[in-house]
C-alpha cells in the first residue's frame, strides 16, 4: 500500500507545504472540515513569510512552521529542520501545495510514497513551474491536472490521478488558469482521501486504486 509506512494509531496526521497563495491548501482545509478527508491537518510548512497560505492556516487553526532557506548554510540543513518539524508533529503524509522548491533525496527517501504533489498539466508533458503558460503557448488542444507521488526528480513520481480539459479557441492564459484551479481544488482532496483510506497501491510506475 502507498501508506505502508504509516505507523500511527487513529487519525493520520497531514502536513501541507506551501509557498504562495494557498488556494489548494484552502481546498484541503475545507475537505478535512467537511469530513471527506478523515485525517488531521496538523501542520503548514512554508519558506515564505509573505505566503497567503499563512493567513489561511491561522484562520483554520493549523500549526505553522516557518523554515526559510536563507537561514541555513545548505539545502541539507534546511531539509533537516523541516524533518525535525515533521517528526515533532508526527506527520504521516506530506502534501505539496505550491511549495516552490525541489525536495532533496534525504526527505523524499525518508517519506517515500508519503509525499503528494499536484501539477497543472498532464504529466509527463509540460513539467516545471510555468506549465499552464507552456501548454497554452505551445498551442496544445488539451491539458489538465496531475496528482502524483514525489521523488527526487522534478514532476516525476508515479501518477495517482489525472483529469484533462480542452483548451478552447476563446481561452486566454488567465481563463485557462481559472479552469485548471477549479479542477485542482476537486482532484487534490480526492487523491488525499484515497491515500488516507489506504486505497492506493504503488506498483512500479503505476498506482492502482483499490475499490
pLDDT digits (tens, 9 = 90+) for 41-100: 999 999 999 999 999 999 999 999 999 999 999 999 999 999 999 999 999 999 999 998
The model's pLDDT over 168-199, given as tens digits with 9 standing for 90+, comes to 999 999 999 999 999 999 999 999 999 999 99
What is the rounded CA–CA span in Å between residue 147 and residue 116? 7
Rounded Cα distance, 85 and 65, in Å: 7
Cβ density class 114-128: b for 16+ within 10 Å, e for less: bbbbbbbbbbebbee
Per annotation, catalytic residue among 119, 156, 164, 181: 119
Our answer to whether residue 156 is catalytic in this structure is no
Inter-residue contact 188 to 27 (CB < 8 Å): yes
pLDDT at position 82: 97
Per DSSP, 180 falls in state H
Predicted TM-score (pTM) of this structure:
0.93
Tens digit of each residue's pLDDT (9 = 90 or more) over 138-169: 999 999 999 999 999 999 999 999 999 999 99
Tell me the C-alpha distance between 50 and 182, whole Å: 24
pLDDT in tens, 5-18: 444 457 999 999 99
Do residues 32 and 1 make contact, with C-beta atoms less than 8 angstroms apart?
no
The full set of domain ranges for the chain reads: 12-209
Judged against a pLDDT cut of 90, whether residue 3 lies above it is answered with no
The mean of the pLDDT values for the chain is: 94
Per residue in 56-71, pLDDT (tens digit) is 999 999 999 999 999 9
Class of the CATH-defined domain 12-209:
alpha beta
Indicate the burial class of 87 (C-beta count within 10 angstroms; 0-12, 13-18, 19 or more): exposed
pLDDT band at 208 (very low <50, low <70, confident <90, very high): very high
Question: Residue 146: what pLDDT?
Answer: 98
Amino acid at each position: 500500500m502507498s501508506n505502508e509506512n504509516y505507523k500511527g494509531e487513529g487519525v493520520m496526521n497531514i502536513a501541507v507545504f506551501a509557498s504562495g497563495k494557498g488556494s489548494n491548501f484552502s481546498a484541503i482545509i475545507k475537505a478535512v472540515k467537511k469530513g471527506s478527508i478523515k485525517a488531521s491537518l496538523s501542520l503548514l510548512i512554508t519558506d515564505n513569510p509573505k505566503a497567503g497560505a499563512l493567513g489561511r492556516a491561522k484562520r483554520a487553526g493549523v500549526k505553522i512552521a516557518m523554515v526559510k532557506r536563507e537561514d541555513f548554510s545548505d539545502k541539507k540543513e534546511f531539509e533537516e529542520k523541516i524533518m525535525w518539524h515533521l517528526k515533532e508533529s508526527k506527520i504521516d503524509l506530506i502534501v505539496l501545495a505550491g511549495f516552490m522548491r525541489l525536495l532533496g533525496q534525504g526527505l523524499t527517501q525518508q517519506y517515500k510514497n508519503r509525499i503528494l504533489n499536484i501539477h497543472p498539466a498532464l504529466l509527463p508533458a509540460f513539467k516545471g513551474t510555468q506549465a499552464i503558460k507552456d501548454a497554452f503557448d505551445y498551442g496544445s488542444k488539451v491539458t489538465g491536472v496531475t496528482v502524483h507521488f514525489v521523488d527526487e526528480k522534478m514532476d516525476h513520481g508515479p501518477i495517482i490521478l489525472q483529469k484533462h480539459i480542452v483548451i478552447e479557441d476563446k481561452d486566454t492564459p488567465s481563463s485557462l488558469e481559472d479552469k485548471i484551479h477549479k479542477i485542482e481544488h476537486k482532484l487534490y482532496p480526492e487523491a488525499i482521501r484515497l491515500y488516507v483510506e489506504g486505497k492506493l497501491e504503488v506498483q512500479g510506475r503505476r498506482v492502482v486504486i483499490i475499490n
